[in-house]
Amino acid sequence: MVTASVGAFVSFGDLVSVPEGVAVTAASGLKAVGDDGQYVSAKMGSVKVEENKLMIEGPTAPFVPPSAGDVVYARVARITKQKAECVIVADHAGRPNNCGYRGHIRVQDVRYYDIDAVAIEECFRPGDLIKCKVLSIGDSRSYLLTTSGTDASLGVVMATSLNGHPLVPVSWCMMKCSVTGELEKRKVARPVWLPEEAQA
Taking only the tens of pLDDT, the chain with its 200 residues reads 456 677 778 888 888 888 888 888 877 888 887 666 778 888 888 888 888 888 888 877 888 888 999 999 999 999 999 999 999 999 888 888 878 899 999 999 999 888 999 999 999 999 999 999 999 987 767 899 999 988 888 999 999 999 998 998 999 999 999 889 999 999 999 765 555 544 44
Within-domain flag for 4: no
Picking from 21, 38, 57, the residue at the C-terminal end of a domain is 57
Within-domain flag for 3: no
DSSP per position, the chain: ---B-TT-EE-TT-EE---TT-EE-TTSSEEEETTTTEEEESS-EEEEEETTEEEEE---SPP----TT-EEEEEEEEE-SSEEEEEEEEETT--B--S--EEEEEGGGS-SSSGGG--GGGT--TT-EEEEEEEEE-STTEEEEE--SS-TT-EEEE-B-TTSSBEEEEETTEEEETTT--EEE--B---TTS-HHHH-
Question: Based on the domain organization, do 34 and 128 belong to the same domain?
Answer: no
Question: Based on the domain organization, do 34 and 104 belong to the same domain?
Answer: no
Query: What is the total count of domains within the chain?
Result: 2
> Whole domain around residue 141: which residue ranges?
61-200
Question: Based on the domain organization, do 89 and 188 belong to the same domain?
Answer: yes
Question: Based on the domain organization, do 67 and 85 belong to the same domain?
Answer: yes
pTM (2 decimals)? 0.81
Question: Based on the domain organization, do 185 and 198 belong to the same domain?
Answer: yes
Question: Based on the domain organization, do 97 and 191 belong to the same domain?
Answer: yes
Say which CATH number the domain at 17 has: 2.40.50
